[in-house]
Chain A
């Protein structure tokens, strides 16, 4: 019995750490889908793209993965702003975003994924850093640094974003555009510009999430697909556009997944996220902390 409790305890701790990472993966979609109403299903592909660039920087120049991701932030911001500009001009202005906008991101998802496969093949890639092999032990509980550091960094990232959104002018404008686009226009602010900035930020988070991902596990291009379900499950479960709700949902999912993997085998784990997502959508579309 003691062993089983220990096992459960360490599964829960591993789940919490995993959940923190999931929050970092989801925060971009929480901004784009939750606040801007842009269904960016290509977000996981941007994350994988981030992982690969971090991988290149790490393997050729020996840069620390997280440092590499921080260097990448402006690049990904610009990439996101450019993607939004296309999206705005082609779909949003025509009022065509529902169906064709969705198809646009769907296509983008495959272009990025397959371009990575053609460039790098389907081998698993990984990064090296001093802390990746180290594990702290507290009794029965293991705290591997490769989980702990992404966890801490993603909490820091969430806190920064939350502060940014609630304290700065642009941040408040982003919150405003998510609530009432027309009212913002009446305040003589340009919603398209605000949304471009916000979408840029959401893609920039993918660079960091990509670094965390490749620290936690080896990456190959189609790994991203597993995250589509998780991301939207967390997003919907946490209530759209709410960071605290999202963090709770992410940790919840992390724990459930980790327990499932420990006690029933990892082949069932993907169904957990999607099953939760389906049930949430069917019975509680506004999320656990929704209105």
Chain B
């Protein structure tokens, strides 16, 4: 499929998806759908660095929360429309991603992962001690009840998430088919060989950390409007870090399809258990952990890899 056709199809699918959701009998479907779609964006963003370049980022929650907190900070200064906030959240997280890339350029493999973990805690401590955005007490956001045309505000948030999903997946697929994607794959397979062969590994890694960080920030920017009360414990919630790793790994990391499938699968399970067992996040994290461990042991290439190997066997 050509790239332009893909974008067209992605937009159409997104529009159809949103159109179908409008038939939903009540607001809950938007509430739940938003959460799942938010994970699609996060997982796709993680996969740009983790799946394509092979660099495991443990600090997704930090980028996500930075996006959310830049919204909180701006909300207090002047009311800007949400799409602008998302853009700004993306820029903030993208810049931090670039900085992290610079700081950790020389680190490979596990050291990079540990550094991202460290970054997440440092950012969380800074936010917790920053009174302007509420500190550890948290901050309230008052959202309008309704928006023109769509009606309920949650439907507007949901629409925005659908658009972000289409955007993230489109970007991921474009990368896959471009020189950039081949460069990423070369880094993942053998960084030294890639560098020796003239791949500008340094620059490519910076592109990946920036892009991945920016998309995570964009996913996080609407969060304050969704929850209306944001504190560091929920913004930096571990569920974001765990899920953004588990979803691509369970779905499959080799293409844009994996994170999408993984996020829809895991996101729906978690939403289901939350409602069915009225559990706190504890049971959810346990399920994700068990699935993650069993998938990396039994099906190292995720659901996509599993399906592909079944197709091969049938031939």
Q: Is B115's CB within 8 Å of the partner chain A?
A: yes
Q: Is B109's CB within 8 Å of the partner chain A?
A: yes
Q: Collect the chain B residues with CB atoms within 8 Å of residue A267's CB.
A: 125, 128-129, 136
Q: Collect the chain A residues with CB atoms within 8 Å of residue B128's CB.
A: 267
Give chain B interface residues in 277-315, CB to chain A under 8 Å.
282-283, 285-286, 288-290, 292-293, 296-297, 300
Selected interface stretch from B100-108, B160-168, B267-275:
B100-108
Give chain A interface residues in 136-161, CB to chain B under 8 Å.
none
Compute how far the CA of A83 lies from the CA of B212 in the bound complex, rounded to whole angstroms: 33
Q: Is A115's CB within 8 Å of the partner chain B?
A: yes
Knowing A99-B56, A100-B300, A118-B282, say if A107 contacts B292 (CB, 8 Å): yes
Selected interface stretch from B17-25, B78-86, B116-124:
B116-124
Compute how far the CA of A33 lies from the CA of B126 in the bound complex, rounded to whole angstroms: 29
Compute how far the CA of A233 lies from the CA of B136 in the bound complex, rounded to whole angstroms: 25
Check if B300 sits within 8 Å of A98, measured CB to CB: no
Instruction: Output the least CB separation between B102 and chain A (Å).
Output: 9
Check if A107 sits within 8 Å of B296, measured CB to CB: yes
A228, A233, A282: which has the most chain B beta carbons within 10 Å?
A282
Q: Is B114's CB within 8 Å of the partner chain A?
A: yes
Check if B292 sits within 8 Å of A278, measured CB to CB: no
Q: Collect the chain A residues with CB atoms within 8 Å of residue B68's CB.
A: none
**Closest residue of chain A to B248, judged by CB?**
A103
Query: Which one of B56, B115, B125 lies within 8 Å of A270 (CB-CB)?
Result: B125
Chain B binding surface, main DSSP class = helix
Check if A115 sits within 8 Å of B119, measured CB to CB: no
Check if B289 sits within 8 Å of A281, measured CB to CB: no
Q: Is A46's CB within 8 Å of the partner chain B?
A: no
Q: Is A164's CB within 8 Å of the partner chain B?
A: no
Give chain B interface residues in 196-233, CB to chain A under 8 Å.
none
Check if A106 sits within 8 Å of B114, measured CB to CB: no
Interface string of A109-138 (1 = CB under 8 A from B): 111011101100000000000000000000
Check if A102 sits within 8 Å of B117, measured CB to CB: no
Instruction: Output the least CB separation between B265 and chain A (Å).
Output: 16
Instruction: Output the least CB separation between A28 and chain B (Å).
Output: 16
Check if B290 sits within 8 Å of A275, measured CB to CB: no
Q: Is A277's CB within 8 Å of the partner chain B?
A: yes
Instruction: Output the least CB separation between A256 and chain B (Å).
Output: 14
Total residue contacts A-B, CB cutoff 8 A: 123
Check if A110 sits within 8 Å of B113, measured CB to CB: no
Check if A271 sits within 8 Å of B126, measured CB to CB: yes
Instruction: Output the least CB separation between A4 and chain B (Å).
Output: 23
Knowing A102-B56, A281-B114, A281-B115, say if A114 contacts B104 (CB, 8 Å): no
Q: Collect the chain A residues with CB atoms within 8 Å of residue B154's CB.
A: none
Compute how far the CA of A111 lies from the CA of B246 in the bound complex, rounded to whole angstroms: 13
Check if B136 sits within 8 Å of A111, measured CB to CB: no
Knowing A102-B56, A110-B285, A267-B128, say if A281 contacts B111 (CB, 8 Å): yes
Check if A229 sits within 8 Å of B118, measured CB to CB: yes
Check if B106 sits within 8 Å of A111, measured CB to CB: no
Q: Collect the chain A residues with CB atoms within 8 Å of residue B238's CB.
A: 110, 225
Check if A277 sits within 8 Å of B245, measured CB to CB: no
The interface size of chain A toward B, counting residues with CB under 8 Å, comes to 42
Compute how far the CA of A225 lies from the CA of B117 in the bound complex, rounded to whole angstroms: 10
Knowing A274-B118, A282-B103, A282-B104, say if A106 contacts B292 (CB, 8 Å): yes
Instruction: Output the least CB separation between A166 and chain B (Å).
Output: 26
Q: Is B249's CB within 8 Å of the partner chain A?
A: yes
Q: Collect the chain B residues with CB atoms within 8 Å of residue A103's CB.
A: 56, 245-246, 249, 292, 296
Check if B117 sits within 8 Å of A228, measured CB to CB: yes
A33, A41, A114, A270: which has the most chain B beta carbons within 10 Å?
A114
Compute how far the CA of A25 lies from the CA of B56 in the bound complex, rounded to whole angstroms: 24
Compute how far the CA of A98 lies from the CA of B115 in the bound complex, rounded to whole angstroms: 15
Subset of 28 A-B contacts with CB under 8 Å: A90-B297, A91-B296, A96-B300, A98-B54, A99-B56, A102-B110, A102-B113, A103-B245, A103-B296, A106-B245, A106-B292, A107-B289, A111-B286, A111-B290, A111-B293, A114-B283, A118-B282, A225-B238, A228-B117, A229-B121, A232-B117, A267-B125, A274-B118, A274-B119, A277-B118, A278-B122, A281-B111, A281-B115
- 14 further contact pairs, Cβ within 8 A, besides A107-B296, A267-B128: A33-B110, A41-B114, A91-B296, A99-B50, A100-B296, A106-B292, A108-B289, A110-B238, A110-B289, A271-B122, A274-B117, A275-B118, A277-B114, A278-B119
Interface residues of B (CB under 8 A from A): 50, 54, 56, 58, 103-104, 106-107, 109-111, 113-115, 117-119, 121-122, 125-126, 128-129, 136, 238, 242, 245-246, 249, 282-283, 285-286, 288-290, 292-293, 296-297, 300
Interface residues of A (CB under 8 A from B): 33, 39, 41, 86, 90-91, 94, 96, 98-100, 102-104, 106-111, 113-115, 117-118, 225, 228-229, 232-233, 236, 267-268, 270-271, 274-275, 277-278, 281-282, 285
8 smallest CB-CB distances across A and B, nearest first, come from A110-B289, A271-B125, A107-B292, A107-B293, A274-B118, A114-B286, A39-B110, A111-B289
